[in-house]
Amino acid sequence: MARSFSSLCFLAAGTAEAQASRDQMIRVYGNSPREEADVLVVLGGDGFMLQVLHETMNSGKLVYGMNRGTVGFLMNDYRLDGLPERIAAASENDFHPLKMSTVSADGAETTALAINEVSLLRQSYQAAKLRVLIDGQERLDELICDGLLVATPVGSTAYNLSAHGPILPLDSPLLALTPVCPFRPRRWRGALLPDRVTVDIEIIESEKRPVNAVADNVEVKSVVAVKVQQADDVTARILSDPDHSWSERILAEQFAN
């Protein structure tokens, strides 16, 4: 079903290419103030798109991205012509991010949201030792590794895929729990979890084996405990061209050379 909208606001990454594209778009379509626009058109790469999605969560704003970066998995193809028609026909994907809650070695507590993944990574030459609980039940009493990821379907083709984690269809109610370079248990390659579970990760020997926790671009150093769960009260909204939908991108990624 085609959507109706009356105003666009163009946002661009700091690169020369993205800024030049924004100037072109504004000359053709005009530019509404960000707070008044129905749709935010993002020009840049995946990093800039994630930044805008974080800024617009729960705002009700629709975000339509066009690739002026490198990979552009979250973006549509860039074209100057026919933008209103493309947006009117675009498919909408609404999704909930992950909420990361951490306790640091000094007792400080931090909360941050992640659209792609929450990652725990060793801070020094020492491998991390982690205890993993799912909904309060211990599933791994000791995981020795370089790190551990909890990835959303949106983020399953990012760091998670590089760590040999599974690609998740965007409409799947799942999370990927993926180790980074696991040493013990040597044969453990991760797990698929319902997206309603709570994942608790405790750092064993945290002083000897310090670990940092990262939610997208928010990093917390020297954590001793991390809780990850879906933030059901937070929503981001993104638009994709019907012939380049996120579901199609997920399928294409699995058959890429």
47 is in an annotated binding site: yes
Catalytic residue annotation: 46
Q: Are 78 and 16 in contact, with CB atoms under 8 Å apart?
A: no
Name, in order, each residue with C-beta under 8 angstroms of 187's C-beta and a sequence gap of 6 or more: none
Q: Is 161 labelled as part of a ligand binding site?
A: yes
Q: What is the DSSP letter of 231?
A: -
Which single residue is written with the structure tokens 């790469």? 45
Q: Is 220 annotated as a binding residue?
A: no
DSSP letter assigned to residue 23: H
159 annotated as ligand-binding: yes
- In degrees, rounded to 5, the angle at the alpha carbon of residue 250 between the alpha carbons of residues 19 and 113 is 65
Query: Residues 6 or more apart from 20 whose CB is under 8 A from it?
Result: none
Q: Is 154 annotated as ligand-binding?
A: yes
| Degrees, nearest 5: CA angle 61-199-151 | 50
Whether residue 67 is annotated as binding a ligand: the answer is: no
**Cβ–Cβ < 8 Å for 239, 90:** yes
d(CA 48, CA 65): 10
- Residue in the block written with tokens 């909890």: 150
Binding residues for NAD(+): 46-47, 116-117, 146, 154, 157-162
Which residues are annotated binding-site positions? 46-47, 116-117, 146, 154, 157-162
